[in-house]
Chains A and B, each alone.
Chain A
Amino acid sequence: AQSVAQPEDQVNVAEGNPLTVKCTYSVSGNPYLFWYVQYPNRGLQFLLKYITGDNLVKGSYGFEAEFNKSQTSFHLKKPSALVSDSALYFCAVGTDSWGKLQFGAGTQVVVTP
């Protein structure tokens, strides 16, 4: 069974400050890890994924995430947040069978000017 935990319901950050959204996972086998962003009444936009290779993954819109196997974490980061980054962020985990994804509960990011 696979599971994902996003411990923070909401993250508040001032524009220009670093943004971190936390994610930990549990999966049997090798994890496939994903980050998505969702704006109101919209589908999910892909930010980045980790399948294999470098633990530091760079994605869209200046976001990056670091795969930490020992801590089973995949935290999303952005060095300098923008007001337009305010949205709902989801972490998801799958496996190398490319089956169903398990999503975290989501973290609402609020960036204030």
Chain B
Amino acid sequence: GAVVSQHPSRVICKSGTSVKIECRSLDFQATTMFWYRQFPKQSLMLMATSNEGSKATYEQGVEKDKFLINHASLTLSTLTVTSAHPEDSSFYICSARDPQGSDGYTFGSGTRLTVV
């Protein structure tokens, strides 16, 4: 089935630095990708929707200048956490829309970000 590869699986960074998370669709073209944030034992909170070749649409309350999303190709979307702070520590998950696939939406394996 469809696969979305998300990297890195876990990253530790220092406060003030930036971290980039990549999601690649391996065997299908992902015109739309969704980025979620998940706190421990809580639900997924949608951060933004990215469409290939256009600006991402951010959910209310999500800082677009802090969470930079780029979707420059049909197989790659990136989320960059800029000037990271400890409160940005979280589990980030991407998802690609794949209506032709059996699942409909395919999720990456997630990235555990820890800011120290």
Residues of chain A at the chain B interface (Cβ within 8 Å) = 32, 34, 36, 41-44, 46, 49, 51, 88, 90, 94, 98-101, 103-106, 108
Give the Cβ gap from B24 to chain A, nearest Cβ, in Å: 14
Cβ-neighbour of A100 out of B10, B46, B108 (below 8 A) = B46
- With contact pairs A43-B93, A49-B103, A100-B49 given, residues A90 and B43 touching in the complex (Cβ less than 8 Å): yes
Cβ-neighbour of B43 out of A49, A94, A103 (below 8 A) = A103
Q: How many chain B residues touch the partner (CB < 8 A)? A: 24
Give the Cβ gap from B92 to chain A, nearest Cβ, in Å: 10
Q: Is the CB of A103 within 8 A of B44?
A: yes
Provide the main secondary structure of the chain B interface: strand
Chain B residues with Cβ below 8 Å from A90 are 43-44
Q: Is the CB of A41 within 8 A of B112?
A: yes
Whether, in the assembled complex, B25 has its beta carbon less than 8 Å from a beta carbon of chain A, the answer is no
Give CA–CA (A16, B12) in the complex, Å.
41
Whether, in the assembled complex, B91 has its beta carbon less than 8 Å from a beta carbon of chain A, the answer is yes
Whether, in the assembled complex, B105 has its beta carbon less than 8 Å from a beta carbon of chain A, the answer is yes
Interface contacts beyond A46-B106, A101-B34: sample of 10 additional A-B pairs, CB < 8 Å, sorted by A = A44-B93, A44-B95, A46-B107, A49-B103, A99-B49, A100-B34, A101-B46, A105-B42, A106-B42, A108-B41
Q: Is the CB of B105 within 8 A of A43?
A: no
Give the Cβ gap from A38 to chain B, nearest Cβ, in Å: 9
Q: Is the CB of B107 within 8 A of A49?
A: no
Give CA–CA (A103, B107) in the complex, Å.
13
Give CA–CA (A43, B41) in the complex, Å.
13
Give CA–CA (A33, B13) in the complex, Å.
37
Give CA–CA (A38, B114) in the complex, Å.
20
B19-61 interface bits toward A, Cβ cutoff 8 Å, 1 = contact, 0 = none? 0000000000000101000000111101001000000000000
Q: Is the CB of A34 within 8 A of B6?
A: no
Chain B residues with Cβ below 8 Å from A101 are 34, 46, 95, 105
Q: Is the CB of B46 within 8 A of A49?
A: no
Cβ-neighbour of B41 out of A44, A88, A94, A104 (below 8 A) = A88
Give the Cβ gap from A26 to chain B, nearest Cβ, in Å: 16
Most chain B beta-carbon neighbours within 10 Å: one of A34, A90, A101, A104: A101
